[in-house]
């Protein structure tokens, strides 16, 4: 009897911890998995198609990097109760504040266009015309945010996050050789030698793993959720789990690309899905559903990131807990961003490829600034108190930031001058 | 509608005044970081402008 009561006590304790995690889980998981957006899927698929399993190790290295960068936004949001945009305005003055806000607005809008490109391409495979996709997505996202509760929005977003895992069973359909994946993928190497093309792919993978909108989004989400200092350990765990899942999904996409599309030039995830449909109907369907979900998840988060930022600065009510009547400007901004981005995709002969390239270049101008501000804010003793960066965190984070800034700058330059690294 | 929009634009001045002074202490490392950031951004924007002009030609 005593043994039973001990087992019951132990398991009920574990269950309580799991339940508590599911209440607190959210911003970290959502932002990390949303990072595997339409652009991310394309990058992973193209990486697999070009280098096989050879760069899987690099994606694994990026998992802790993404965690350490995003974890700082959890602490900053929970301690200051301010979003990232407001923290920059307050900490560094109006000049840097406006620069970050304008840059964020531009990057978010352009990225949102690329999400719509991915979603329309995915549903076109099932015969759904782009205009129906755009209308459907705008309506769906409208319904999700207008329910008037952050909690509900977050749990719906988590359901879409679960769909992102569809790439994992997708990889098993193609029967990859496990020994080859381990031998070629897990041992750090530079397939074909360190050349310009490889460098471009390495930087593209960094660019899809750490994006400026993620910093703004997670900090605002932490604030909107009402997380406090005592929730920081949970927020960190949430972010760690999210970065692990996003890395895992990325690895499985590379495995699919490396197994069935090796040697094929991949321009878009839509093209990859169509090719995979020819290999195996179920695989193609999985990939198309995954691509649509990735675009949708990206759209859910990115459209909110700029609305939150504008709300913080202009002093509008800016919480998902507000009804549309209570926060009209917040929702107006949200729908304006969403609808205009959707409409661009429907314009015949719109320069979508140019937009995709431009996103990367503009993001490069915002990312270094956002990262530098993040480190400086996390070292502000007056605001952060005991939650400021420790020496080890500073060494780690500054190293990460310096490497990211150097590589992302070179990436931006390589997008502007493609022949430079060939 | 015009009135509402004008009021929102009027807020920009208000925001500029509110955040006119950076709250973070401008120590040497902070100043240096911001200076380097400015230089970096000017370089990047210059590069983009140069690319734009060469593309137009």
The 10s digit of each residue's pLDDT in A16-54 is: 777 777 777 778 888 898 888 888 888 888 889 889 898
Q: What CA–CA distance (Å, rounded) separates A100 from A88?
A: 8
Q: What CA–CA distance (Å, rounded) separates A103 from A368?
A: 12
Which of A416, A417, A419, A420 is most worth mutating to test chain B (most B CB atoms within 10 A of its CB)? A416
**Confidence tier at A204 by pLDDT (50, 70, 90):** confident
For residue A421, pLDDT beyond 70: no
**Around Cβ A191, how many Cβ atoms within 10 Å?**
14
Q: Are A257 and A272 in contact (CB under 8 A)?
A: yes
- Comparing CB atoms, the residue among A91, A365, A417 nearest residue B24 is A91
Which of B20, B37, B54 is most worth mutating to test chain A (most A CB atoms within 10 A of its CB)? B37
CB pairs under 8 A between A and B: 57
pTM for this model (two decimals): 0.86
For residue A350, pLDDT beyond 80: no
Lowest average pLDDT, out of A207-211, A266-270, A300-304, goes to A266-270
Q: Helix count (H) and strand count (E) of chain B?
A: 2, 0
B35 touches chain A (CB under 8 A): no
Q: What is the pLDDT along chain B (57 residues), one digit of tens a residue?
A: 777 777 777 788 888 888 888 888 888 888 888 888 888 888 877 877 777 777 666
Does the distance separating the beta carbons of B47 and A416 come in below 8 Å? Answer: yes
- In the three-class reduction of DSSP (H, G, I as helix; E, B as strand; rest coil), residue B40 is classed as helix
Q: Are A205 and A54 in contact (CB under 8 A)?
A: no
How far away is chain A from the Cα of B49, in angstroms, using its nearest Cα? 10
What is the pLDDT at residue A361? 66
What is the pLDDT at residue A422? 59
What does residue A91 show for φ and ψ, rounded to 5 degrees?
Answer: -75, -40
A402 touches chain B (CB under 8 A): no
What is the pLDDT at residue A6? 76
Buried b / exposed e over A133-158, threshold 16 CB at 10 Å, is: bbeebbeebeebbeeeebeebbebbe
Question: What is the CB-side half-sphere exposure of residue A8 using CA atoms within 13 A?
Answer: 5
Q: Which two tokens stand for residue A38?
A: 């339409």
Complex confidence, ipTM: 0.83
- Comparing CB atoms, the residue among A93, A361, A372 nearest residue B20 is A93
Burial of A390 (0-12, 13-18, 19+ CB in 10 A): exposed
pLDDT, one tens digit per residue, over A269-282 is: 778 888 888 888 88
Q: Are A318 and A308 in contact (CB under 8 A)?
A: yes
Long-range contacts, A10-14 (Cβ 8 Å, 24+)? none
Which of B34, B46, B49 is most worth mutating to test chain A (most A CB atoms within 10 A of its CB)? B34
What is the pLDDT at residue A353? 67
pLDDT, one tens digit per residue, over A88-99 is: 999 888 888 998
Does the distance separating the beta carbons of B47 and A90 come in below 8 Å? Answer: no
Does the distance separating the beta carbons of B20 and A409 come in below 8 Å? Answer: no
For residue A349, pLDDT beyond 80: no
How far away is chain A from the Cα of B19, in angstroms, using its nearest Cα? 5
Does the distance separating the beta carbons of A413 and B47 come in below 8 Å? Answer: yes
């Amino acid at each position: 009897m005593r043994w039973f009561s001990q087992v019951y006590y132990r398991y009920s304790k574990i269950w309580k911890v799991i339940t508590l995690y599911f209440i607190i889980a959210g911003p970290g998981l959502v932002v990390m998995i949303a990072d595997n957006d339409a652009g991310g899927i394309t990058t992973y698929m193209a990486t697999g198609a070009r280098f096989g399993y050879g760069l899987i190790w690099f994606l694994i290295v990026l998992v802790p990097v993404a965690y350490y960068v995003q974890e700082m936004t959890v602490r900053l949001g929970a301690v200051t109760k301010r979003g990232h945009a407001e923290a920059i305005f307050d900490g560094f003055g109006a000049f840097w504040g406006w620069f970050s806000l304008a840059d964020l607005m531009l990057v978010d809008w352009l990225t949102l266009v690329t999400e719509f490109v991915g979603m329309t391409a995915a549903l076109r495979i099932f015969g759904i015309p782009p205009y129906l996709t755009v209308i459907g997505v705008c309506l769906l996202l409208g319904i999700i945010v207008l329910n008037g509760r952050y909690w509900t929005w977050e749990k719906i977003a988590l359901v879409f996050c679960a769909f992102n895992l569809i790439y994992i069973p997708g990889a098993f359909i193609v029967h990859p050789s496990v020994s080859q994946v381990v031998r070629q993928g897990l041992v750090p190497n530079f397939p074909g030698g360190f050349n310009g093309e490889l460098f471009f792919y390495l930087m593209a993978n960094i660019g899809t793993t750490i994006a400026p909108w993620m910093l703004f989004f997670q900090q605002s989400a932490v604030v909107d959720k009402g997380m406090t200092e005592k929730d920081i350990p949970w927020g960190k765990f949430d972010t760690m789990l999210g970065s692990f899942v996003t890395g895992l999904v990325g690895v499985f996409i590379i495995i699919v690309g490396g197994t069935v599309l090796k040697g094929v030039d991949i321009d878009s995830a839509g093209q990859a899905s169509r090719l995979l449909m020819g290999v195996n109907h179920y695989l193609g369907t999985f990939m198309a559903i995954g691509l649509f979900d990735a675009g949708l998840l990206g759209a859910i988060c990115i459209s909110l990131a700029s609305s939150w930022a504008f709300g913080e600065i202009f002093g509008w009510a800016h919480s998902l807990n507000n009804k549309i009547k209570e926060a009209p400007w917040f929702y107006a901004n949200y729908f304006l961003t969403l609808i205009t981005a959707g409409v661009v995709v429907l314009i015949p002969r719109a320069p979508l490829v140019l937009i995709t390239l431009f996103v990367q270049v503009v993001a490069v101008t915002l990312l270094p600034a956002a990262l530098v501000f993040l480190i400086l804010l996390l070292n502000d003793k007056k605001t952060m108190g005991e939650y400021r960066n420790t020496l080890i965190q500073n060494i780690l984070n500054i190293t990460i930031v310096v490497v990211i800034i150097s590589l992302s700058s070179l990436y931006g330059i390589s997008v502007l001058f493609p022949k430079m690294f060939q | 509608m015009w009135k509402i929009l004008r009021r929102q634009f009027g807020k920009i001045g208000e925001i500029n005044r509110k955040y006119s002074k950076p709250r973070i202490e401008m120590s040497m490392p902070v100043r240096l970081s911001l200076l380097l950031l400015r230089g970096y951004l000017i370089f990047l924007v210059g590069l983009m402008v140069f690319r734009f002009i060469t593309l137009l030609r």
